[in-house]
Amino acid sequence: MYDMKKNNQEEEQTEPFDFSSFEESAIAGLQSGQPLFGEGGVLKRLVKHLIEASLEGELDAHLASQRASEIANKRNGRGRSKKLRTDVGEIEIETSRDRLGNFTPQTVGKWEREVGAGFQDQILELYAMGNSVEDIRLHLAKMFGARLSTGAISAVTDRVWGEIKTWQERPLLTLYTLIYLDAIHYKIREEGQVVTKAIYTIYGVDAQGQRDILSIHIGASEGAHQWSLYLEQLKRRGVEDVLFFAVDGLAGFGEAINRIYPQATVQRCIVHMIRTSLIGVQDKDRRAVVRDLKGIYQAAGEKEALQALEAFELKWGKRYRHVSDKWRESWLELTAFLDFGPEIRRMIYTTNAVENVHRQMRKVTKTKGAWCTENALLKQLYLSLQRKRKSWSRNVFKWSTIQQELIELYGDRYLQHVTVE
């Protein structure tokens, strides 16, 4: 007599997935030139297993729910094999059925023939959220039983390198209204030691008021010479003119900019200057010193600002002469914004905009101590920035008012780059 129950059990038995064997064959395939994705890609076997395992888990949960509701339902062998289009190429999966036929899978619908979210994209999304390669390995092991090595996961994240290179070398616009220059520092392991390196961020505002990150680079500790190299790269990528640069107080910054963009107005960040001014000021005097410095940068014009500085010197000169000396040394770059209307002043007097970008970077990297390589850091920063693109690509506030003043001040130098929508 034919034993249907026994036959169903035999049909449902599957060989356990051998992750060690898969990893060995995948690495061997990559070394021999086999692609990660597409037809013949080394990840197809793994994606097939993950989809089938997810479907099996869904069916188990469905049958458990049916039993809890006292509905007599159970497995009913295998359905027909099904071909799916995925980001790693076409794969063929085996699906299980239930006796009552009321199971509706979510991983891949009954009539679906395409899996929208590719496995590799899930890895990249986890990486962009700030997870380390080890974090992702543990996540995949917990969620899918996928015991991949960190090397295998790095191979997936490495696929963005071509995209990063294209992004860093993409042609830029001829004119930018404003470019913010600032650096953020990270610790990176290098030749057995932990060294501090700078992420150089170039953040621009075009003639339409649209913000964009023009590039991020990793270099030695921040310096004017290194910034000169990156500004020269901007020139080679097509940036011929910049109206304003907003920068911190790095020595030689203004000279480096003026050598490459001699027509640009350089504004030193007032917020940075206030912080610098408070070095050596006693705690009990800090609030009063800040209040009196505010009289300088909130003045109606340069003449009034100079009067406020002189008043500051009369009041604090004996105790804090070094503060007023710092302002006089950088006077032109500190007061450049006073030549413009309130909206342009607000746009250029501080580098807060690029520092907000850096805060986003910190959010996804704050749990890391030292990075194993420069490439690992750059990959994660790039992916996280692209994931949060909407937050840093907004138009500048009150742009129409700013644009009106730019037209009045710069005429055709600015206007020829404005696109009429």
As a whole number, the mean pLDDT across the chain is: 83
Residue 159: pLDDT band by 50, 70, 90 thresholds?
A: low
Bigger pLDDT: 125 or 375?
A: 375
Task: Check if the beta carbon of residue 251 is closer than 8 Å to that of residue 257.
Answer: no
Up-side HSE of residue 385: CA atoms within 13 Å toward CB?
23
Among 111-115, 221-225, 234-238, 255-259, which stretch is predicted with the lowest mean pLDDT?
A: 111-115
Q: Is the dihedral of CA 405, 410, 416, 417 positive or negative?
A: negative
Residue 184: pLDDT band by 50, 70, 90 thresholds?
A: very high
Say which amino acid occupies 343: E
**CA separation for the pair 154, 283 (Å, rounded):** 49
Task: Check if the beta carbon of residue 226 is closer than 8 Å to that of residue 207.
Answer: no
Say whether pLDDT at 50 is over 60: yes
Among residues 221, 218, 224, 291, which one has the least CA distance to residue 253? 224
Say whether pLDDT at 94 is over 90: no
Task: Check if the beta carbon of residue 308 is closer than 8 Å to that of residue 289.
Answer: no
Bigger pLDDT: 68 or 85?
A: 68
Among 30-39, 214-223, 259-268, which stretch is predicted with the lowest mean pLDDT?
A: 30-39
Mean pLDDT on 199-228: 92
Among residues 188, 130, 121, 131, which one has the least CA distance to residue 159? 121
Task: Check if the beta carbon of residue 179 is closer than 8 Å to that of residue 242.
Answer: yes
Task: Check if the beta carbon of residue 344 is closer than 8 Å to that of residue 337.
Answer: yes
Task: Check if the beta carbon of residue 360 is closer than 8 Å to that of residue 128.
Answer: no
Residue 11's pLDDT is 41
Task: Check if the beta carbon of residue 40 is closer than 8 Å to that of residue 81.
Answer: no
Percentage of residues of the chain with pLDDT beyond 70: 76
Tokens, residue 274: 């206030």
Tokens, residue 323: 């503060």
Task: Check if the beta carbon of residue 86 is closer than 8 Å to that of residue 47.
Answer: yes
Say whether pLDDT at 234 is over 90: yes
Among residues 236, 159, 246, 154, which one has the least CA distance to residue 205? 246
Strands 193-206 and 211-219: antiparallel
